Amino acid sequence: MNLIQIERGMKMTIYEDLQMRPVSEDFEAVFRQVEGDRHFVVLCPALYDSFARLQLGASLRISFTSDPNIYTFTGRAKEKQRTRGLVLIEQLTDIETLSSRKYDRDEFRMRVMVYGLPESKLSDVVFEKPQGNPDMSDLTYDISAGGLCVVSNTLLSSKHDPYYAIEFMIGDKDRFVLPAKLVRRSNYPRVKVGKYDYGFQFIFDKMPDEKGRLSRAILSKKLAQR
């Protein structure tokens, strides 16, 4: 994916970040046009109004969705255009494909606890419930053997972003605490039950058996609902 492949009118989520952590509310932007190899224009009144502060070298994390893929890259605001609301952004990193949907997802509503997870913990074979309060507690929108989605009014932020530990129960006996990577952060949720849409991808590198156990638990719940 590159800039010239992005369609005019594509909705984008832009937030100021510090080491991949959001430090402010998201900016809602609309892609307008490409300006050269590494620059493009978006329509974003909030970003336009915040331009003076962002000139201090703030990094911007930009993401957008084009089914079935999610894309993200880093940029910075270069200059305001004459027309109010239009901002020229410089692309600093290549556009990365974060995920594509490989698993069927089921619309189960379950309570999930989301905790920031140090990257060093990804090598752990067994995960326990992290100490302290969760960074977010809300209901899932959907889940699969590959990950889950949460639509929430909570702006999720952790010094360990994008890695998290996700705790949840499927049914009365199947409890999971799984490492995951936040691969989508959008304020264009697919349903109007919350302001933010978060997509998490489970990391099973050190615990392959948990993937099978999760698949079986999801199947059992589906059969029980018939």
* Mean predicted lDDT score pLDDT of the chain: 84
Per-residue confidence (pLDDT) for residue 135, from 0 to 100 = 94
Domain with CATH 2.40.10 in the chain: 111-225
Per-residue confidence (pLDDT) for residue 20, from 0 to 100 = 47
Query: Percent of the chain having pLDDT more than 90?
Result: 39
User: Helix, strand or coil for residue 218?
Assistant: helix
**What CATH number should be reported for the domain whose range is 111-225?**
2.40.10
Residues 6+ apart with CB under 8 A from 154: 136, 138, 194, 196
What superfamily would CATH give domain 3-98? Electron Transport, Fmn-binding Protein; Chain A (2.30.110.10)
Give the separation between CA 83 and CA 5, rounded to whole angstroms: 24
Closest to 188 (Cα-Cα) out of 178, 180, 179, 198: 198
Does residue 189 have a pLDDT over 60?
no
Does residue 119 have a pLDDT over 50?
yes
Per-residue confidence (pLDDT) for residue 1, from 0 to 100 = 84
pLDDT digits (tens, 9 = 90+) for 137-174: 998 888 888 899 998 888 898 999 999 999 999 888 88
Give the separation between CA 58 and CA 146, rounded to whole angstroms: 33
Check if the beta carbon of residue 89 is closer than 8 Å to that of residue 62. yes
pLDDT digits (tens, 9 = 90+) for 8-41: 999 888 888 765 454 556 788 999 999 988 999 9
The b/e string for 196-205 (b: 16+ C-beta within 10 A; e otherwise) is bbbbbbbbbe
Domain with CATH 2.30.110.10 in the chain: 3-98
* Average confidence (pLDDT) over 71-86: 91
Confidence of residue 126 (pLDDT cuts 50, 70, 90): confident
Q: Which two tokens stand for residue 138?
A: 């809300």
Tally the residues of the chain.
Answer: 226
**For the chain, percent helix, then strand, then coil, each to nearest 5?**
15, 45, 40
